[in-house]
Amino acid sequence: MEKLLYSKNHEWIRKEGSTAFIGITDHAQKSLGEIVYVELPEVDDEFEIEEAFGVIESVKAASDSYMPVSGKIIEINEALEDSPTLLNEDPYGAWIIKIELSDEGELDSLLDLSAYNELCEEDN
């Protein structure tokens, strides 16, 4: 997971040029438990950093997913509508949204793997 950056809200982001894929971390899916529903935003919706872009509902909780950085939605992973458990099975493969970055500088505020692992350990 070298290429990934992480947010304190347990989202990961993978940058590809001026776009990026966003999903939730393994730690997040384990804490949520079996995921039963993912509420996705719409393409062209724009969000600020830390703004909620969707909702992930598991058998025991429902929580918002927050933008690790600001951006415009250019694609949503529609497969999650029918198979929300993909987030449990393959959290780093099952991206939730693909965005167009509006400020690449914001990436600097995110955590790298070791910093994120430290955060998770504190959580535990």
43 lines the binding site for another protein (CB under 8 A): no
| Contact residue for another protein among 61, 74, 79, 115 (CB under 8 A) | 61
Q: Which two tokens stand for residue 121?
A: 């350990």
1 lines the binding site for another protein (CB under 8 A): no
62 lines the binding site for another protein (CB under 8 A): yes
DSSP the chain: -TTEEE-TTSEEEEEETTEEEEEE-HHHHHHH-SEEEEE---TT-EE-TT-EEEEEEESS-EEEEE-SS-EEEEEE-THHHH-TTHHHH-TTTS--EEEEES-GGGGGGSB-HHHHHHHHHHH-
57 lines the binding site for another protein (CB under 8 A): yes
39 lines the binding site for another protein (CB under 8 A): yes
Stretch that binds another protein, among 55-63, 82-90, 96-104, 105-113 (CB under 8 A): 55-63
For β-strands 71-76 and 62-66, DSSP reports them as unpaired
Stretch that binds another protein, among 26-34, 61-69, 84-92, 112-120 (CB under 8 A): 61-69
37 lines the binding site for another protein (CB under 8 A): yes
- Nearest-angstrom CA–CA distance, 6 and 29: 14
Query: Nearer to another protein by C-beta: 38 or 110?
Result: 38
Residues that bind another protein (CB under 8 A): 37, 39, 57, 61-62, 64
